Structure 1
């Protein structure tokens, strides 16, 4: 992240504006759309970051892409960012907005990485177990991903807590034990 402080401030101002306009849900939907575009289209992000493309061209392109698909609040906010020369930080601001909105709605994002894809029944079971373990309540947003290098097991991230129950970690622990001979005293 290039500038988390700036992203947090812009996200906070957009949340405040959305609260004033009573459009928190609409702006969140818009932000999710913009986040999807930023993640799926690196050329869009490069265009935003390019100093060669002038602000008026960026504004025109944003209007072509998003007009009618996002609310006037979000579109005006992006246009203001372009006027201020802050469009470079749009992907960061979008992520900061999602994080702050989740905090307001008391939604905990949980990342589950497994060696193979899991079915919905197991996903629902894990989601309910994690929701029961969270002390302050709220809802759980479970995001799953597959990483074959884990070999087996899973990695679970809940906020700043990290649980690694993968075979890869177990094998690395065994490897460390073999490379460091516990029976020979270090001098």
Structure 2
């Protein structure tokens, strides 16, 4: 039996490939993200759809609106297959893997900018441009988080990359130099 991550990677890869052949990757991604949001907003839905004691006809009636509202046949099929195999709890992982594949192919990078105060739109744009050039991305999606313990400056985090330009870190580095 496959572990959840391997299962999600295989299904997302297969779905990505067939949607790519149909030139429907972006449409499929939008639908998958909206379906994932339904599950995020209703955490008990996933539990109900994987509960073996919950009647099959009620499971089908719960998932039917999602299937009916989908315009992409392969997304509909994915939902039916996951429901039929009692694997609806894998859907959010599949969508995340699909989105990650999309981002990699389109060089889209998600990053967190941690600052003392919320960044202005101009500051965000400047950070996005600089980070885009630095990592060779086509697009950077920046999420600003506030941490008042930084004193000043910005920490930029993305996947395995961290650029720490915070005043707090600079002060700590000076302390280390003085104490050694």
TM-score by length of 2: 0.78
Any stretches of 5+ residues in structure 1 without a counterpart?
none
- Per mean C-alpha deviation after superposition, the further-off stretch among 5-14 and 62-71 is 62-71
- Structure 2 distance, partners of 1:127, 1:68, is 35
Deviates more, 1:124-133 or 1:78-87: 78-87
SS in 2 for 1:117: coil
- The aligned counterpart of 2:87 is 86
Two-structure CA RMSD over aligned residues (Å):
2.8
Matched residues in 2 for 1:112 and 1:149: separation?
Answer: 13
Count of residue correspondences: 174
Match of 1:40 in 2: 41
Q: CA 1:50 to 1:83, structure 2 compared with 1: closer, same or farther past 3 Å? A: same
> Counterpart of 1:29?
30
Does structure 1 retain, via aligned residues, the 8 Å contact 2:16–2:98? yes
Given the superposition, is the C-alpha separation of residues 76 and 131 from structure 1 closer, same or farther in structure 2, using an over 3 Å criterion?
Answer: same
Q: 2:141 aligns to what?
A: 142
Residues 114 and 145 in structure 2, CA contact (< 8 A), matched pair in contact too: yes
TM-score for both structures, normalised by structure 1: 0.76
Structure 2 unpaired stretches of 5+: none
Partner residue in 2 for 1:100: 101
| d(CA) in 2 for partners of 1:169, 1:44 | 44
Q: Quick one: distance in 2 between partners of 1:8 and 1:35?
A: 16
Pairing 1:127-166 to 2, within 5 Å after superposition: 127-134=128-135, 137-148=136-147, 150-152=149-151, 153-166=153-166
